[in-house]
Amino acid sequence: MADFEERRGLLGDENECPAAGGQGAGGASRPMAAICDPSHLLHRVVVLVFMCFLGFGSYFCYDNPAALQTQVIQDLNLNTASFMQLYAWYSWPNVVLCFLGGFLIDRVFGIRLGTIIFSLFVCIGQVIFAAGAWSNHFWLMEVGRFVFGIGGESLAVAQNTYAVNWFKGKELNLVFGLQLSMARLGSTVNMNIMGWVYSKVAVAVGSPGYTTLGISLMIAAGTCVFSLLCALVLAFLDKRAERILHKEQGKTGEVIKLTDVKDFSLALWLIFIICVFYYVAIFPFIGQGQVFFIEKFNFSPAQARAVNSIVYIISAPASPILGFIVDKTGRNVGWVFAAVIATLGAHMMLAFTFWNPWIAMSLLGVSYSLLACALWPMVAFVVPEHQLGTAYGFMQSIQNLGLAVIAIIVGVIVDVRGYLVLEVFFCACICIALMAVVGLYFVDYLKGGGLNQSAAARAKLQKETSTNAE
Amino acid sequence: MAAAMTADSGRVWGILLLFVCSSSQSLFNGGDSYKRELTVKLYPNTSSPPPGGELLHVRAVGGNDTLHFLFCSQGAPTLLVVHTDSPSSIVEVNWPQFVARNTSGSLRVEPQSSILYSTAVVFSRLLEYDDENNTAEGTSNFFPPYELQDFSWSPMNLSKPTAVICGSAPHAINGSLCFQLTVFGSEGRPELWPRLLHSPNSSQVEVWLDGLLPRSNTSRFVLELQAVGGAFPLSKVDVRQFIDDEYTPSIFKVSQWVSSANNGSDILGFVQWKPVAYRRPRPALEDATPCRHSEPQPWTGNKTTDSSALIKAFYSDPRAVGMNVSFGIAGEPFYNSTMFLSWTMLVGVGSPPVDSFSPLVIGIMAAGLGIPFVLLLVGGVCVFIMKRRDTSDAAYQPIN
């Protein structure tokens, strides 16, 4: 799933918003049990649990096709190209919705209704997807993924907004970290459990086939219903807190102005190029990785799913650690360079050797986490704050565009030229990202920008500018 | 493909790639100039073919040697390859004796002393088993086998450089088993999967089963092959892993059944295939079905001689080794899903051809790794020069 989570850290740090001030003021009129008191930590922990599970369903179901790749292809008689369409259809709506999500939450629905609506989309999308499999209509599955996509990415925006609203100025970074780990947990659990669910359903139904697949996906839809329930509970609790604490409804605070695009600097465009060409070598690869590991490395389907999910597993603990390291050391371009080189190495290992793929995939997991930590914050250094929303929206939008297009190309390459050419294609994408990193380093160097400064130099600079301002 | 790959990376990339590809292509083709002249002769050369079957002789003359490819449908379909060290060696056939199938020596390669090596492959039987538990083990539930020597084979359909024969079982209503032999004068690769790389020293046999009614709904098939040779028949099967699947998508192995003198490292002759069969005549990736082979077992030579006229005519004391190739693995669709199966192999002398990366792959990797490196170098030099100029500017400033 596209890396929405990565930008949260930034938004959270910057939107230390005055709305927090009202908290606790109105709650004093009548004593409440800690767990029921919205201003109390214990209550917020309860809210946090619902918040984390809000996104669980969509993360779980996003990679359903990857987890059941062999079954989907066999039961519905697909080729790899049409299989990858399932991922492309998820990305298409988000090319536009990345700009709209924040607007819809702030101006149209409000956070509570918005979250419920997006959860409904996710839920209905997954049910349509499952129904398509159940009735052996592939087009219906594509429709399902499209509807699912409408909800999925915007739900992440909503989840973020809730977190800022409830935890700003308190345990916000921890909350972001927990939510990210929860998202990765959803992906991992999905990868490792869906094969088992399918085999159990196959035994119950009598034989594998599209009916079995449909039922398995319906069961997966249960996680979406669960997330929808979380959305409803959150809406109730948020409403209640608003009444008791007289606080405002949460806002994303994003202002998207498409005309800002013409002011984007060269450095920012290079960051966009890195983002697109890096991520297209990760997500579409994981999307069709299972069969690759089975065919090339003679893995069993269960082993293939496990190795495919290692990227997510590693990223759950590695993201906060690496994020901390990058924060402390600075030199973001250097870290991005290292991450891209490591990813290139991992893909070349997968392409040109028979070494155990656990090595390459673990390297991929670490480098992917490192890139996410180092790349996304760079945007904030090259864009004035009032354009930040537009820049991030634009970055996600073209990332989704890239994912949709590359997913289709990936399927065609596998069908026509096989996995070596596919891996070489991913290497080529990473190489383009690498060129952009090199370009970014020099552009930043020539402009005397601070992208590759150490954290100490940055702090010093900030101190100087602030004393100058005074 | 190339277009799709470069579409996102811009026109400059595309042009560069094309340049790299075309230059390396010419480099590759220039390296291989070895060719053989092919001449084809069909026995008997009457207009109406005899009911017993025919014999095709393809003579492939190289610079200082000759390869004789003999393909015969008298009895079980058989391919015999004879390697001689003389560019003028010939094949003499005594057709009445050959048809009578009671003496060896009715087919001779002259001069006898020029023969370096010979090997033959007999397609002896087609086995069918009921795989009701979908395990594809192929150890029990066999139906009575199809003896290919009992099939009635069609006249050879010749179109340069291929010959096709199709046969049907004695009591079968419809369906056929076909063999297509292709002899190549030069190195290359066919258009259709599995796209095995062939050399001038090899021929390709494609076997396909089309429309034969299975005897159960869960039938799978096994093809029985016998390799026949004089002193050194094909003995062991090597399975090699190979990282390049671009010509045969998703297949990372190549199997070769080789013969070597006294178990030495020099390979005299080979049968090479990729462990994949296809369920449709013009296959897509999802029509691929894996296949497996059994360990080669020594076979009684006499039985083989009885089944194939060509073996009887050429070898006086044949030694045979048998091997089965079974199509499909557990969980794969059964034969009746498409009623079609095709499998391809190469038969040749010398070492089997070894695949290499295509110019496309080499070109992309070279460009992908090279350009960032060059960029880093050029950028580094530029920055260095600018820095020097800055410092020298600074040095001059006090004088100004």
Q: A354 CA to chain B: closest CA distance, Å?
A: 7
Segment B186-241, tens digit of pLDDT: 888 988 889 999 999 999 999 999 999 998 999 999 999 999 987 778 888 989 98
Q: Which residues of B touch A446 (CB under 8 A)?
A: 383, 386
- Tally C-beta pairs within 8 A across A and B: 98
- Give CA–CA dist B161/B200, Å, rounded: 13
By Cβ distance, the residue of A351, A406, A417 closest to B249 is A417
What pLDDT shows up at residue A28? 44
CB A126 within 8 A of CB A224: yes
Residue A461 within a domain: no
Do A169 and A287 reside in the same domain of the chain? no
Q: How far apart are the first and last CA of chain B?
A: 61
- Give CA–CA dist B314/A136, Å, rounded: 58
Lowest mean pLDDT among A59-73, A164-178, A385-399, B303-317: A164-178
Contact A420 B248 (CB under 8 A): no
Residue B356 within a domain: no
Residue B400 within a domain: no
A17 pLDDT tier (thresholds 50, 70, 90): very low
For an interface test with A, the pick among B217, B280, B337, B361 (most A C-beta atoms closer than 10 Å) comes out as: B361
What pLDDT shows up at residue A153? 84
A217 pLDDT tier (thresholds 50, 70, 90): very high
Contact A409 B369 (CB under 8 A): no
Residue B161 within a domain: yes
For an interface test with B, the pick among A288, A356, A435 (most B C-beta atoms closer than 10 Å) comes out as: A435
Do A325 and A209 reside in the same domain of the chain? no
Q: How many folded domains does chain A comprise?
A: 2
By Cβ distance, the residue of A80, A354, A424 closest to B285 is A80
What pLDDT shows up at residue B273? 94
- Give CA–CA dist A453/A423, Å, rounded: 34
What pLDDT shows up at residue A351? 93
């045979």: which residue's tokens?
Answer: B320
A45 pLDDT tier (thresholds 50, 70, 90): confident
Do A55 and A90 reside in the same domain of the chain? yes
By Cβ distance, the residue of A418, A430, A438 closest to B249 is A418
Residue B90 within a domain: yes
By Cβ distance, the residue of B8, B245, B375 closest to A420 is B245
Lowest mean pLDDT among A224-233, A271-280, A314-323, B319-328: A314-323
Segment A240-276, tens digit of pLDDT: 888 888 777 777 766 777 777 788 889 999 999 999 9
A154 pLDDT tier (thresholds 50, 70, 90): confident
Do A203 and A244 reside in the same domain of the chain? yes
Q: Which helix (H) or strand (E) holds B274?
A: none
- Give CA–CA dist A52/A309, Å, rounded: 20
Closest CA to A129 of A199, A58, A186, A50: A58
Residue A164 within a domain: yes
Q: Least CA distance to A416: which residue of chain B?
A: B249
pTM more than 0.80: yes
What pLDDT shows up at residue B316? 86
Do A245 and A280 reside in the same domain of the chain? no
Q: In one letter, which amino acid is B325? A: V
Per-position b or e across B208-235, b if 16+ CB within 10 A of its CB: bbbebebebeebbbbbbbbbbbbebbbb
What pLDDT shows up at residue A435? 94
- Give CA–CA dist A11/A285, Å, rounded: 29
Do A55 and A203 reside in the same domain of the chain? yes
Do A241 and A261 reside in the same domain of the chain? no
User: What DSSP character marks residue B120?
Assistant: E
Range of the domain at B316: 37-349
ipTM: 0.84
- For residue A431, the domain's CATH number is 1.20.1250.20
**How many CB atoms lie under 10 A from the CB of residue B297?**
11
User: What DSSP character marks residue A108?
Assistant: I
Do A182 and A70 reside in the same domain of the chain? yes
Omega cis (within 30) before B49: no
By Cβ distance, the residue of A80, A415, A431 closest to B372 is A431
Phi, psi torsion values for B282, nearest 5 degrees: -115, 90
By Cβ distance, the residue of B243, B247, B369 closest to A431 is B369
Range of the domain at A392: 256-453
Do A172 and A129 reside in the same domain of the chain? yes
Do A175 and A303 reside in the same domain of the chain? no
CA angle B128, B155, B306 (to 5 degrees): 55
For an interface test with B, the pick among A73, A74, A79, A431 (most B C-beta atoms closer than 10 Å) comes out as: A431
Segment B133-179, tens digit of pLDDT: 888 888 888 999 999 998 888 888 888 778 999 998 887 778 899 99
Per-position b or e across A67-79, b if 16+ CB within 10 A of its CB: bbbbbbbbbbebb
- Give CA–CA dist B219/A456, Å, rounded: 72
Q: Least CA distance to B290: which residue of chain A?
A: A295
User: What DSSP character marks residue A458?
Assistant: H
Do A119 and A58 reside in the same domain of the chain? yes
Contact A405 B244 (CB under 8 A): no
Residue B304 within a domain: yes
Residue A14: is its pLDDT beyond 70?
A: no
Residue A9 within a domain: no
CB B185 within 8 A of CB B200: yes
Q: A228 CA to chain B: closest CA distance, Å?
A: 37
- Give CA–CA dist B346/A405, Å, rounded: 39
- Give CA–CA dist B341/A314, Å, rounded: 44
Segment A88-99, tens digit of pLDDT: 999 999 998 887
CB A398 within 8 A of CB A277: no
What pLDDT shows up at residue B393? 63
Contact A417 B1 (CB under 8 A): yes
Chain-centroid distance, C-alpha B183: 11
Q: How many folded domains does chain B comprise?
A: 1
- Give CA–CA dist A172/A163, Å, rounded: 7
Where does residue B379 rank: exposed (0-12), middle (13-18), buried (19+ CB within 10 A)? middle
Do A366 and A217 reside in the same domain of the chain? no
